[in-house]
Structure 1
């Protein structure tokens, strides 16, 4: 059974006002002082963000328990210095992000200008182990059209700088301003993948391989495929759902590769349209079907994803979990809908943030 790890980026906010606070360095210092697991909590580009990474897990219940524990530990460390954490992919309230110190972050600020000064967004990255780079690239080639469905399921960023954007995932519309971000063409081999990455680094537009921001990539650090399309999910249960679906996609793609089945040849242009459609409506309207690239109800497209990965999920015992989780989101709404419902009930973006901070730790 393939192991899975999750990285989550959380927003640091004032527990009373809901405003983002640039206190990541202080929170990390507190976590170190309290003896937190080494490498669990990490700094990010902006001082208003805190990242954690789980250990690789084969069992989804264990993964869920670790995500919950890490969120609560993050909240505890943040609370000791007067702030809290919220699993929000963008800040509903206006914010001026604070770029972290260090030569790497300063290079990014100077190189990319205004986007680097504005781009405070929080994602969820899922690592699924693979046996080799060759298998990993074969997986990347075959999961491309399905990633937009994961993005729709995770959508959790309807607000930006105090305004409703009309999108379910505005984070995914902001993120592509980085020059290496977005969907990729079919690579065909590990050699072609690594040659492209080397050429991109050699161009000087990006600093190093860590700035390859493809929707899915080979991890620079671990023997994994890293899927990067998801918003940070409001609820830990949604993060687990995204992780188990990601594992199902990786296993299904690897089986197709071993069986000699070719990847779909959808163009990057069509994949961008699918990503836009998922970002715009989440699960409330239509999505592009990953096979036909035609609009169909979100429920139908999510059903197609479950059918596509059904055998792999059944083999790991995750199929019922996946069906239940998808049905819950289709019926009750994603994080984006929860945020809009909070605003409708309270009339206050501050209440949206503080309410979501409570959801984060449940």
Structure 2
């Protein structure tokens, strides 16, 4: 069974006011002091962000437990220096992001200007194991039409600098400001994939291979494909759903490749529109159906994803979990809907953040 690892980026905030706090260096120092051998938490582009990565897991219950434990540990370490964490993909409250001091981040600040300053956005990245680069690229080619559905399910960023953006996932729109971000054309082989990455680095517009921000890419460090389209999810159970569906998509794509089925030939321009539609409406309106990239109700598209991955999900024992979690999201809403309902009830974005802190830890 394919293993899955999840990386989550969390927002550091004041526990009383909800204001973002630029304290990641202090949190990491606290974590290192308590656990000198820990390799779970990492710095990110901005000092208001803290990232953690789970270990590879094949069992989804074990993955859920580890995500919960990492969130609790992040909150505990942050609490030692007077702040806490929130699984919010953008800050609902106004913030002046602080770019980290290391050489890489400062290069990005010089190269991209205000676009770097604005990238205080927090995602959920899912790694799924593959046999080799050939299988990985075959998977990348065949997953493309379905990625926008993952974005809609995970959408958790309706607010930006104190304003309702009218988007469900505004994080994904900000992320597209990187010149290397977004959907890709069909590569057809690992050799073509690696040649494209090398050509992009050779332009000098990106620093290195790590800055090739494809929606799905081969990992540089692990034998995995890395899917990068999801917002960080407010609830840990939603993060597990995204991991389950991602593994299902990878396994389904690999089976199609082995059976000789060609990938859909959807153009990058249409895939960008599908991603925009998912970011705009989330689960509250139409999405573009991956088969023909024409509008269909979100409920129809989500159920099409379950049908598309059904055999793989059944074989891994995840089908009932995926169905139940998708039905719950369609009924109760993703993180974006929850945030808007909280604001309607409380009337203050600060109260939204404080409640989301509570929900981050379950």
TM range, normalised to the smaller chain? over 0.9
Instruction: Note if contact 2:118-2:174 (Cα within 8 Å) is conserved in structure 1.
Output: no
The answer to whether residue 82 in structure 2 is matched with residue 82 in structure 1 is yes
Hey, what's the Cα distance between the residues in 1 that align with 2:296 and 2:45? 37
The Cα RMSD (Å) is 0.6
1:230 counterpart residue number: 230
Where does 1:135-154 land on structure 2 (aligned, <5 Å)?
135-154=135-154
Give SS of 1:274's match: helix
Hey, what's the Cα distance between the residues in 2 that align with 1:104 and 1:207? 8
Hey, what's the Cα distance between the residues in 1 that align with 2:38 and 2:190? 32
1:119 CA drift (Å) = 1.4
Hey, what's the Cα distance between the residues in 2 that align with 1:249 and 1:341? 31
Hey, what's the Cα distance between the residues in 2 that align with 1:292 and 1:305? 14
Hey, what's the Cα distance between the residues in 2 that align with 1:37 and 1:227? 28
Aligned structure 1 segments of 4 or more residues deviating by more than 6 angstroms: none
Hey, what's the Cα distance between the residues in 2 that align with 1:202 and 1:220? 17
Hey, what's the Cα distance between the residues in 1 that align with 2:118 and 2:229? 19
Hey, what's the Cα distance between the residues in 2 that align with 1:156 and 1:305? 20
Give SS of 2:176's match: helix
Hey, what's the Cα distance between the residues in 1 that align with 2:215 and 2:102? 26
Where does 1:208-287 land on structure 2 (aligned, <5 Å)?
208-287=208-287
Q: For 1:5-35, what per-residue CA distance to the aligned partner results, in whole angstroms no more than 9, with x for missing partners? A: 0000000000011010000000000000111
Hey, what's the Cα distance between the residues in 1 that align with 2:255 and 2:289? 21
1:37 CA drift (Å) = 5.3
Hey, what's the Cα distance between the residues in 2 that align with 1:292 and 1:309? 17
1:134 counterpart residue number: 134
Where does 1:295-306 land on structure 2 (aligned, <5 Å)?
295-306=295-306
1:113 counterpart residue number: 113
Hey, what's the Cα distance between the residues in 2 that align with 1:76 and 1:39? 16
Instruction: Note if contact 2:31-2:38 (Cα within 8 Å) is conserved in structure 1.
Output: no
Hey, what's the Cα distance between the residues in 2 that align with 1:214 and 1:195? 14
Hey, what's the Cα distance between the residues in 1 that align with 2:237 and 2:102? 35
1:136 CA drift (Å) = 0.1
Give SS of 2:110's match: helix
Q: For 1:65-90, what per-residue CA distance to the aligned partner results, in whole angstroms no more than 9, with x for missing partners? A: 00000000000000000000000000
1:16 counterpart residue number: 16
Q: For 1:47-74, what per-residue CA distance to the aligned partner results, in whole angstroms no more than 9, with x for missing partners? A: 0000000000000000000000000000
Give SS of 2:179's match: coil
Give SS of 1:356's match: helix
Give SS of 1:89's match: coil
2:32 counterpart residue number: 32
Hey, what's the Cα distance between the residues in 1 that align with 2:264 and 2:157? 30
Hey, what's the Cα distance between the residues in 1 that align with 2:325 and 2:191? 38
1:356 counterpart residue number: 356
Q: For 1:327-349, what per-residue CA distance to the aligned partner results, in whole angstroms no more than 9, with x for missing partners? A: 00000000001100110001000
Hey, what's the Cα distance between the residues in 1 that align with 2:70 and 2:37? 10
Gaps of 5+ in 2: none
1:118 CA drift (Å) = 1.5
Give SS of 1:52's match: strand
Hey, what's the Cα distance between the residues in 2 that align with 1:170 and 1:285? 16
Give SS of 1:180's match: coil
1:210 CA drift (Å) = 0.6
1:39 CA drift (Å) = 1.7
Give SS of 1:177's match: coil
Instruction: Note if contact 2:43-2:49 (Cα within 8 Å) is conserved in structure 1.
Output: yes
Give SS of 2:62's match: helix
Aligned residues: 362
Q: Which range moves more in the overlay, 36-45 or 297-306?
A: 36-45
Hey, what's the Cα distance between the residues in 2 that align with 1:200 and 1:37? 36
Give SS of 2:7's match: strand
Hey, what's the Cα distance between the residues in 2 that align with 1:274 and 1:192? 25
